[in-house]
Structure 1
Amino acid sequence: MFTIGDFAHLGRVSVRMLRHYDAVGLLLPAHVDPSSGYRFYTAAQLQRLNRLVALKDLGLTLDQVRVVLDEKVSVEQLHGMLSLRRAELRQQILADESRLRRVEARLRAIEREGAMPTDEIVVKPVPAVRIARLTATAASYEPEDIGPVIQPLYQQLMERLDRAGVPITGYGIATYESTEGDAVVVHAGVTVAVDPSTASDFEVVDLPPLESAATIVHRGLMDDVDATYQGVAAWIEANGYKQKGLVREVYLNYGEGDPADWVTELQLEITKP
């Protein structure tokens, strides 16, 4: 048998927790010395301890743990529960990392308030371009709503173009349309040189030329684009322009290599009032 200290070491838990599990009847010592009150455990009890700790980490209360342990959950069932919990935790980590990036992006936008990127903005005409695209609706313009919509759209579009044998002749181009309320129509497109066809499972459209567009190059993830967009907005207003039409995001180099090296050109059509 093992003392409570040795058993805590072997089970990678605290002595305090073992005493608590004893007090609530979840893991009783194999033997308690009647004169000293010292608790002793057997190696076989590590199996119950392992299950107890695993179930706690799944988020179960101690009362729920007791029910599961008393029902003698099999190794296979426990493995399935832990695998599901692992997937949930990984998803939560990804969500937290995304939220952290958004906070950092807002902080950068705040830091750049009042600093218009005049040297970075180029006013130029943009020629018409033919694209193949897929369309879906996002709940809002918030990154956590846009990302889960546009990313699968591009994956599906690439697969459909590949099946159709349609080569990509240029860059990816995304546009967004506001609707009544918060919803946003998301168009994910890539430049192609084919005629529209009703037989295709994607749309082929011609984006019209822009007579004059305020353009700026954004570097890095689109999660961090807030400060860039807001800087252009300040420049447009300060220079007496008005924005019209849809904003275009042209992905010059996106999705491969170091995200710090990704390059997107933002194109905002402008006019004088």
Structure 2
Amino acid sequence: MLSIGEFSNICQVSAKTLRYYAEIGLILPEEINPENGYRYYSIRQLETMLFINRLKSYSFSLEEIKAILHSKEPQEEKLCLELIRKKHLIEREKLELVKTLAQLDADITNLEQGKSMMSYMDNIDVQLTEVPPMYLLSVRKMVHENDFEEEYRNCFGEIFKKIIDRKLTAAAPPMVLFHSEDYTPLGMDTEFAIPVKEYATGTRDFKPGLCLKTVLNGPYSGLPSVYARQMEWAEKEGYKGHDALFEVYITDPSQVTNESGLITEVCYPVRKIKPLRKH
């Protein structure tokens, strides 16, 4: 048997941490002396503690580690699935860090060249264009920000099924219309839609008319900059929004292996503001 101090030194875990682990039921001492309360761990528990440390190094939470240790499923099977899941998560985080470093480099370069860090906004192209009327087959609902990806898949899956069942013809790529300006406790008023050639039961007229249009090549993280640029352009040129902003997904995100391959059209319906009469 090993005292808590010996166990602590071997595993490089403080005695305070070991007491906390015992408190939450992660790893319990093999024996506690009833007279003095001294805690003792067995030799075989060294491997358990090293196992816990290894999972912590992979960013597993203590709750996740506890679930793995106490799982009724065969541990090797559950552990393998959990490691694969964590690997994918870390890979995504790595990609995000790589993108962040590239953005940092670009910002540093701009500042070293005497440019504004926000000078990239000048390269966002805004076109004033007339978008023709169309028929939409759509699903409209309140969507929370964290649920958007799942709702995207579910709603477009439902719409495509209706198109097939009703023998309709898709006329353009899928789009999402945002009918509210911000998120509320109930979510954002969101319409998932696919333009179709035929007017049929369940379709609706959509007449966007004059729009500011910007094509975004790359990840959706660039959308806020596009929105801001369009708002700036509209204010400068004397236009005002009058209907739901909508995004057209030229490329299917489920079919794109790299975010750089994403193509999204952002359309902002506008009207010219009448100038005030001079007295």
Q: Give the aligned partner of residue 268 of structure 1.
A: 268
Match status 1:150 vs 2:152: yes
Partner deviation per Cα, 1:143-201 (whole Å, 9 max, x = no partner): x453343343223333443444433222112101117962311111112123332xxxx
Matches within 5 A, 1:181-192: 182=184, 183-192=187-196
Counterpart AA for 2:154: P
Matches within 5 A, 1:236-247: 236-247=234-245
Of 247, 250, 267, the match for 2:248: 250
Preserved CA contact (<8 Å) 1:105 1:226: no
Of 79, 82, 96, the match for 1:82: 79
Of 137, 154, 162, the match for 1:132: 137
Q: Give the aligned partner of residue 33 of structure 1.
A: none
Match status 1:207 vs 2:206: yes
Structure 1 residues 193 and 83 mapped into 2: Cα distance closer, same or farther (>3 Å)?
same
Q: Give the aligned partner of residue 118 of structure 2.
A: 112
Of 215, 229, 232, the match for 1:231: 229
Q: Give the aligned partner of residue 168 of structure 1.
A: 170
In 1, Cα distance between the equivalents of 2:175 and 2:102?
A: 22
Preserved CA contact (<8 Å) 2:144 2:183: no
Structure 1 residues 52 and 244 mapped into 2: Cα distance closer, same or farther (>3 Å)?
same
In 1, Cα distance between the equivalents of 2:148 and 2:95?
A: 12
Preserved CA contact (<8 Å) 2:180 2:190: no
Identity %: 15
Q: Give the aligned partner of residue 218 of structure 1.
A: 216
Choose 80-89 or 261-270, whichever is displaced more: 80-89
Preserved CA contact (<8 Å) 2:136 2:196: yes
**Number of residues paired by the alignment?**
225
Of 199, 210, 215, the match for 1:195: 199
Q: Give the aligned partner of residue 276 of structure 2.
A: none
Partner secondary structure for residue 170 of structure 1? coil
Q: What TM-score comes out, normalization by structure 2 length?
A: 0.61
Q: By how many angstroms is 1:246 displaced?
A: 0.7
Counterpart AA for 2:271: T
Structure 1 residues 95 and 261 mapped into 2: Cα distance closer, same or farther (>3 Å)?
closer
Match status 1:25 vs 2:40: yes
In 1, Cα distance between the equivalents of 2:271 and 2:13?
A: 74
Gaps of 5+ in 1: 1-13, 29-44, 198-202
Choose 177-186 or 223-232, whichever is displaced more: 177-186
In 1, Cα distance between the equivalents of 2:126 and 2:101?
A: 23
Q: By how many angstroms is 1:253 displaced?
A: 2.6
In 1, Cα distance between the equivalents of 2:229 and 2:98?
A: 19
Partner secondary structure for residue 225 of structure 1? helix
Structure 1 residues 97 and 165 mapped into 2: Cα distance closer, same or farther (>3 Å)?
farther
Gaps of 5+ in 2: 1-7, 19-28, 30-37, 108-115, 274-279
Structure 1 residues 159 and 53 mapped into 2: Cα distance closer, same or farther (>3 Å)?
farther
Structure 1 residues 24 and 106 mapped into 2: Cα distance closer, same or farther (>3 Å)?
farther
Structure 1 residues 263 and 50 mapped into 2: Cα distance closer, same or farther (>3 Å)?
same
CA RMSD of aligned residues (A): 4.4
In 2, Cα distance between the equivalents of 1:83 and 1:148?
A: 26
Q: By how many angstroms is 1:239 displaced?
A: 1.2
Structure 1 residues 115 and 52 mapped into 2: Cα distance closer, same or farther (>3 Å)?
closer
